[in-house]
Amino acid sequence: MASPYRLALHWHRRDLRILDNTALHHAAAGAEAVVPVYLLSNWRKEHLWTGEKRQAFLCRCLKSLGANLETIGGRLVIRCGRAATELEKLAKETGADAIFYNRDPDPFGGAAEKEVEAMALRLGIACYGHDDVALHTPEEILTQDGKPYRVYTPYSKNWLSQEKPQPLPKPRSLNTPPGISSLPLPDNAHWGWAESEADLIEAGERAAHQRLKTALASRLGNYGETRDFPAVPGTSRLSQDLRFGLLSPRTIYAKSAAALGETLSTPARSGIEKYIKELAWREFYLAILWHFPNVLEEEFNPDWRGLGWAEPDGKFEAWKQGLTGFPIVDAGMRELLATGFMHNRVRMISAMFLTKDLHIDWRLGEHHFMQHLLDGEIASNNGGWQWSAGTGADAAPYFRIQNPWTQAKRYDPDGTYMKRWLPELAKVPVDALFAPPKDGHPLAPGYPLPCVDHATERDRTLAIFKKHRQR
């Protein structure tokens, strides 16, 4: 059958892969030739929502995407600037009669899509947005009254009960025509930054598939027991792959479900089931941001809007650098600086420490994480921060304040994780990592004393929240 379109643009966004890519699949099936294009942003130097590590990872993913596209007769075209303007130029240059893209569910992505749709209408060319970022769109998982869920458990029950979309086959040849001009593959200099010196996880689609394989072969069966222990490689490590679309959620789900079907042991089955429920957390937060975009500005729970947060001071800087004197918090913050990743349990401890021990506004922590995390995802990050601050959808109640000392003892009982990221504490007896130093001396030369007393700050937080409630 003849393809309906002569030449289609495929606008790569957070889908830096060729396998199981909805819009690319439809572009390849629907057009004689496809021009895959990635549009670089054109801000310089400062950005509240990203940083050197994530941009460096993006550059490496683009390099890998370019090579992968060549294996199916494609050639990645790189341009820079506003989506509607650049796609219009490229459509005119190439005579494209269609544009395909995968929708980005965050408000910024949605705004760019509206402009692109309007431009395509004006030029009289077809424009197709596909759902690809999640297994279910926010509109698919609603209460019986057709309203968005505000609580995770009923959301996840509904999410789990719905049939899941299947992975799509690899596209046939893309036949990208020669001679279309492209910027070179970028590096961090494009944004006016130095190359990242951090120890980043391997980028690209192939590395992501390898991680999925490892997770299925040796991690997810024990996920229920190991996922909370940061010293153990017990989680999938796929969050940056979902963030950049190196893997599709369909592929992850289908392979996890297949592993579940082949697994007989009850603990291993419950590990995989637990893992699948984590994918639902991701989609819960995507849905919260979709239905309640105001969470980017204010507390999800109106009860806590206008809380009096402390002015950021030297303690905020100490938190960012991993120098608070609380080893579990500092280890997490140093892991973040060194690798662009932090284990989920430690993200919770460190976020709760900033908001409940230092009384600093969760929005400042949210930005810091976005500037350092490879997996920095607006929806999940906002959800995680508002959960920890006690202000979010289905958040930890404000009075349930984790004690960083007891959390350290519970989740890093032999101190392996803390000593890994705080080499100055390598020789400190492990019990000393679970309580403030009694003799008033630092744990090691150069390592600070705890910057606050947890019990005092806990009481202060309770008083602040109670007073706010009684206004």
Ligand X SMILES: Cc1cc2nc3c(=O)[nH]c(=O)nc-3n(C[C@H](O)[C@H](O)[C@H](O)COP(=O)(O)OP(=O)(O)OC[C@H]3O[C@@H](n4cnc5c(N)ncnc54)[C@H](O)[C@@H]3O)c2cc1C
φ, ψ dihedrals at 328, nearest 5°: -70, -40
φ, ψ dihedrals at 199, nearest 5°: -90, 85
Give least dist CB 277 to ligand X, A.
9
Residue 278: active-site member: yes
State which residue, 79 or 282, has the beta carbon closest to ligand X: 282
State which residue, 393 or 428, has the beta carbon closest to ligand X: 393
Which of 140, 278, 298, 424 is an active site residue? 278
Q: Which of 12, 32, 7, 35 is nearest to 22 (CA)?
A: 12
Residues making contact with ligand X (CB under 6 A): 227, 235-239, 242-243, 278-279, 281-282, 285, 344, 347-348, 351, 369, 373, 375-377, 380-381, 383-385, 388
Give least dist CB 173 to ligand X, A.
32
Which of 344, 403, 405, 424 is an active site residue? 344
Give least dist CB 373 to ligand X, A.
5
Which of 362, 377, 381, 421 is an active site residue? 362
- Neighbouring residues of 135: CB distance < 8 A, sequence distance ≥ 6: 159, 164, 165, 249, 250, 253, 279, 283
- Cα 36 from chain centroid (whole Å): 24
State which residue, 62 or 333, has the beta carbon closest to ligand X: 333
Give least dist CB 73 to ligand X, A.
32
Give least dist CB 287 to ligand X, A.
11
State which residue, 26 or 368, has the beta carbon closest to ligand X: 368
Give least dist CB 211 to ligand X, A.
9
Residue 193: active-site member: no
Strand arrangement of the beta sheet that strand 126-130 belongs to: 77-80, 31-40, 5-12, 98-102, 126-130
State which residue, 84 or 220, has the beta carbon closest to ligand X: 220
Which of 281, 304, 387, 421 is an active site residue? 281
Which of 159, 319, 385, 387 is an active site residue? 385
Closest residue to ligand X using C-beta atoms: 384
Residue 281: active-site member: yes
Which of 140, 193, 225, 309 is an active site residue? 309
Give least dist CB 190 to ligand X, A.
23
Give least dist CB 3 to ligand X, A.
35
Residue 191: active-site member: no
3-class secondary structure for the chain? CCCCEEEEEEEECCCCCCCCCHHHHHHHHHEEEEEEEEEECCCCCCCCCCCHHHHHHHHHHHHHHHHHHHCCCCCCEEEECCHHHHHHHHHHHHCCCEEEEECCCCHHHHHHHHHHHHHHHHHCCEEEEECCCCCCCCCCCCCCCCCCCCCHHHHHHHHHHCCCCCCCCCCCCCCCCCCCCCCCCCCHHHHCCCCCCCCCCCCCHHHHHHHHHHHHHHHHHHHHHHCCCCCCCCCCCCHHHHHCCCCCHHHHHHHHHHHHHHCCCHHHHHHHHHHHHHHHHHHHHHHHHHHCHHHHCCCCCHHHCCCCCECCCHHHHHHHHCCCCCHHHHHHHHHHHHHCCCCHHHHHHHHHHHHHHCCECHHHHHHHHHHHCCCCCHHHHHHHHHHHHCCCCCCCCCCCCCCHHHHHHHHCCCCHHHHHHCHHHCCCCHHHHHCCCCCCCCCCCCCCCCCCCHHHHHHHHHHHHHHHHCC
State which residue, 220 or 323, has the beta carbon closest to ligand X: 220
State which residue, 187 or 278, has the beta carbon closest to ligand X: 278
Give least dist CB 462 to ligand X, A.
21
State which residue, 171 or 384, has the beta carbon closest to ligand X: 384
Distance between CA atoms of 322 and 331, rounded to whole angstroms? Answer: 7
State which residue, 64 or 381, has the beta carbon closest to ligand X: 381
Catalytic residues: 278, 281, 309, 344, 362, 385
